[in-house]
């Protein structure tokens, strides 16, 4: 997918997604209605701590998975 | 990664001959044959105190393996009673247990499985205060519960008392497994991974369904990891989340760092570096 200079392409839960350059993890979560939900964010194989959501700026080619907490037992 | 030595309380109070007589040497011989366990490791298992919170699909197999492996003191806490829908997967119970407190029925079955083990039943839902006392008296804690409020309460108690926590969870065909060992300064706690937040969907087995052998897989792995923590063998498992896709039969691992701003564990003492 070709990016305009102001966008970059991520892979989110297995599907490509274009977001504006400078998008943070917090903004991505908000865009999908996940902010404040019981989820963890995996970025390129590691969980992003919640306290880093605002400061973590996404890069072109980042692979992200939203991991929903399982609670059953 | 830092290797965590077994806790002193596991090994130094009693020597092997007090804990492993001839019958025990025979019963546990297939553990003792493993060089990673040997007599020393089995002695640690015999003197370990393990708390299993939740005696449902995960807690039944976890407690059963821990009992058969010969842990010294096994405490099983659950406030529910056995009902007919449990019997599909909660392998400690039979039809005659329907209506009984799960903790009591589980304790009876565990004592039958291995009379060597001191089994204590806690047949009520734990308030934070009770949980703190039980966690403080344990060497390792297994979270086998079915709700997030209890999961966070167990985690807080484990952080406060600096105890390793083996967390399992399963629903439908999906499962998650993680070890949080806050004795290691770099280990996250449960809250570093899943901060408290709103549910994405209703996730209880009572309403969503759960595949029977899935809880056996995960509960057995919780016992597996707890015994590794007790013995001190293998690679430490903290700092990772295992995701199991039971339909695709695939495991996936994600690295989980500590959250330096985690409201639960940011100020915790670092007893082992």
Among candidates A14, A69, A71, A64, which has minimal Cα distance to B248? A14
- What pLDDT tens digit does each residue of chain B (273 aa) get? 445 555 444 444 455 667 899 999 999 999 999 999 999 999 999 999 999 999 999 999 999 999 999 999 999 999 999 999 999 999 999 999 999 999 999 999 999 999 999 999 999 988 888 999 999 999 999 999 999 999 999 999 999 999 999 999 999 999 999 999 999 999 999 999 999 877 776 556 667 899 999 999 999 999 999 999 999 999 999 999 999 999 999 999 999 999 999 999 999 765 444
Token pair, residue B73, equals 């003191």
Neighbours of A28 (CB within 10 A): 23
CA-to-CA distance for A41 and A56, rounded, in angstroms? 11
Question: Does A71 contact B255 at a Cβ distance shorter than 8 Å?
Answer: no
Q: Which helix (H) or strand (E) holds B257?
A: none
Best residue of B90, B149, B198, B214 to probe chain A, by most A CBs closer than 10 Å: B198
- Residues 6 or more apart whose CB falls under 8 angstroms from that of B17 comprise none
Alpha helices (runs of H) in B70-137, residue ranges in sequence order: 102-113, 128-136
Q: Which helix (H) or strand (E) holds B143?
A: strand B140-143
Token pair, residue A17, equals 């997604």
Contacts of B198 in chain A (CB under 8 A): 36-38
Question: Does A38 contact B194 at a Cβ distance shorter than 8 Å?
Answer: yes
CA-to-CA distance for B265 and B216, rounded, in angstroms? 31
Contacts of B176 in chain A (CB under 8 A): 69-70
CA-to-CA distance for B31 and B25, rounded, in angstroms? 9
Single pTM value for the model: 0.92
* Residue whose tokens read 């999961």: B151
Question: Does B58 contact A73 at a Cβ distance shorter than 8 Å?
Answer: yes
Nearest CA in chain A to B190: A69
Contacts of B256 in chain A (CB under 8 A): 40, 46-47
B145 Cα to chain A: minimum distance (Å)? 5
Whether the predicted interface score ipTM is above 0.90: yes
B37 Cα to chain A: minimum distance (Å)? 29
Nearest CA in chain B to A36: B197
Portion 26-85 of B in contact with A at CB < 8 A: 54, 56-59
Among candidates A11, A38, A27, which has minimal Cα distance to B193? A38
Portion 192-221 of B in contact with A at CB < 8 A: 192-201, 203-205, 208, 210, 215
- Give per-residue pLDDT as tens, A54-63: 999 999 999 9
Question: Does B255 contact A39 at a Cβ distance shorter than 8 Å?
Answer: no
A60 forms bridges with which residues in the sheet? none
Question: Does A70 contact B175 at a Cβ distance shorter than 8 Å?
Answer: yes
């Amino acid at each position: 997918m070709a990016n305009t200079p102001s966008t970059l392409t991520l892979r989110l839960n297995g599907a490509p997604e274009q977001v504006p350059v400078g998008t943070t993890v917090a903004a991505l979560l908000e865009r999908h209605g996940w902010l404040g939900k019981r989820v963890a964010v995996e970025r390129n194989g590691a969980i992003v701590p919640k306290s880093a959501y605002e400061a973590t700026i996404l890069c072109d080619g980042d692979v992200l998975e939203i991991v929903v907490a399982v609670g059953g037992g | 990664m830092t290797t965590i030595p077994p806790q002193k309380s596991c090994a130094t109070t009693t020597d092997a001959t007090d804990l492993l007589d001839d019958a025990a040497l025979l019963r546990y011989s297939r553990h003792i044959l493993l060089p990673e366990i040997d007599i020393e490791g089995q002695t640690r298992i015999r003197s370990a105190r393990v708390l299993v919170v939740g005696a449902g699909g995960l807690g039944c197999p976890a407690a059963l393996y821990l009992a058969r492996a010969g842990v010294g003191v096994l405490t099983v806490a659950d406030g529910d009673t056995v009902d007919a829908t449990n019997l599909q997967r909660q392998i400690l119970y039979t039809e005659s247990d329907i209506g009984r407190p799960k903790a009591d029925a589980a304790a009876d079955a565990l004592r039958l499985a291995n009379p060597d083990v001191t089994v204590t039943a806690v047949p009520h839902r734990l308030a934070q205060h009770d949980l703190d006392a039980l966690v403080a008296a344990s060497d390792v804690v297994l979270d086998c519960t079915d709700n997030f409020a209890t999961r966070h309460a167990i985690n807080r108690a484990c952080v406060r008392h600096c105890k390793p926590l083996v967390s399992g969870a399963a629903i439908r065909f999906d499962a998650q497994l993680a070890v949080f060992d806050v004795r290691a300064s770099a280990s996250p706690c449960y809250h570093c991974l899943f901060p408290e937040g709103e549910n994405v969907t209703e996730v209880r087995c009572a309403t969503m369904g759960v595949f029977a052998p899935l809880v056996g897989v995960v509960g057995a792995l919780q016992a597996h990891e707890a015994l590794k923590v007790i013995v001190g063998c293998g690679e430490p498992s903290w700092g990772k989340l295992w995701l199991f896709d039971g339909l695709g039969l695939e495991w996936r691992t994600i690295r989980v760092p500590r959250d330096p701003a985690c409201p639960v564990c940011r100020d915790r003492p670092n007893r082992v570096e």
